[in-house]
Amino acid sequence: CLQTTFQCCNIEEAKHFYDQLHVICPIMLALTAATPIFRGYLSDVDVRWDVISASVDDRTDEELGLKPLKNDKFVINKSRYSSIDCYISRGSKFKKEYNDIDLVYDKDICNTLEVAGILIINNLYMLFIWDLFSKKEKKF
């Protein structure tokens, strides 16, 4: 696993860079395509992204949309360790049509933060819909 850290000179450059990675990362992931076998089984996928995403997916049946909402507040479309939902920069090349997915976020928390003068970019509001910790009952 390779992890890199990038430093940008300001928040606008960081947002632009984030959006550029949104486009290029799936291409780079497909180019690696180096996991035909994992856990001793031949896989039908090229990379383990879905496996890794599913390993930390702690959504309940209600959050998955399999049962009506009773104890949970939201139907969450994907795992916390999944692809991004929106572009965050607002440069000259940004078009509103690019963000065509309805974001799931807690409007109460959003309003509380805005009243307190804390402005957060859209994709970070989504962090507040999950429990703080991912828990698994079954060991693998």
Q: Model confidence over 38-59: pLDDT tens digits?
A: 677 777 776 767 777 888 788 8
d(CA 64, CA 23) in angstroms, rounded, equals 26
Strand partners, 42: 37
pLDDT-derived band at 67, boundaries 50, 70, 90: very high
Can you give the length of the chain in residues?
140
d(CA 118, CA 111) in angstroms, rounded, equals 10
Indicate whether this model's pTM tops 0.75: no
Beta strand 37-38 with 41-42 is antiparallel
Whether the Cβ atoms of residue 99 and residue 87 lie closer than 8 Å to each other: yes
To the nearest whole number, what is the mean pLDDT of the chain? 78
Residue closest to 60 by CA, chosen among 71, 49, 51, 48: 71
Residue closest to 105 by CA, chosen among 89, 118, 122: 122
Tokens for 97, please give them.
């049509």
